[in-house]
């Protein structure tokens, strides 16, 4: 049951990102606290912690500023720290990190991730070493979970959270 809810949740969030990018031209600070579930368990994406007053010129809303990093540490792609423009690929990166967090139960800023280890590299190693069940959140393993489903979701999370958008 938990894995099925996770799959539905990630699909709904992906549809929301698609809508925001291609119908609204809006970028979000995608992280767990910006996704709310309604009474029917339908996910809604918002931007609550970094609410901004948008200027009349929408082009200014997506430009980078050397004064601050856009997004939340751990969820924002590394390129944002270099002053690059906010882009749909940044939201895809955040989506990948969000998915990896839901699958592993580990936050991207967990104390275990230091000295070059990250949530992305942790998941990549689990895929390569064939130990996906060992890094999965134990709550997901309570039901009769198909390892193939976890592997597929983990692969999506790893690909989306690649440091290089072209990957």
Cα–Cα distance measured from residue 50 to residue 76, given in angstroms and rounded to the nearest whole number:
13
Residue tagged active-site, from 18, 29, 143, 144: 29
> The tokens of 105 are what?
């139960």
Enter the DSSP assignment of 143.
S
Name residues whose C-beta falls within 8 Å of residue 160's C-beta, 6 or more positions apart in sequence.
92, 93, 95, 96, 97, 99
Q: How far apart are CA 160 and CA 90, in angstroms?
A: 9
Let me know the angle formed at the C-alpha of 11 by 8 and 12, rounded to the nearest 5 degrees: 85
Is 130 a catalytic site residue?
A: no
Catalytic center residues: 29
């Amino acid at each position: 049951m938990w894995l099925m809810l996770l799959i539905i949740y990630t699909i709904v969030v992906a549809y929301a990102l698609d809508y925001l990018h291609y119908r609204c031209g809006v970028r979000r600070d995608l992280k767990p606290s910006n996704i709310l579930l309604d009474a029917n368990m339908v996910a809604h994406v918002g931007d609550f912690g970094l609410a901004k007053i948008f200027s009349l010129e929408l082009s200014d809303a997506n430009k980078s500023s050397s004064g601050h990093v856009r997004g939340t540490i751990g969820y924002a792609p590394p390129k944002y720290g270099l002053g690059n423009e906010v882009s749909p690929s940044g939201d895809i990166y955040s989506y990948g990190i969000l998915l990896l967090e839901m699958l592993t139960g580990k936050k991207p800023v967990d104390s275990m991730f230091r000295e070059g280890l990250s949530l992305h590299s942790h998941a990549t190693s689990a895929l390569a070493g064939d130990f996906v069940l060992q890094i999965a959140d134990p709550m997901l393993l309570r039901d009769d979970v198909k390892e193939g489903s976890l592997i597929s979701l983990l692969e999506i999370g790893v690909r989306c959270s690649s440091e290089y958008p072209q990957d």
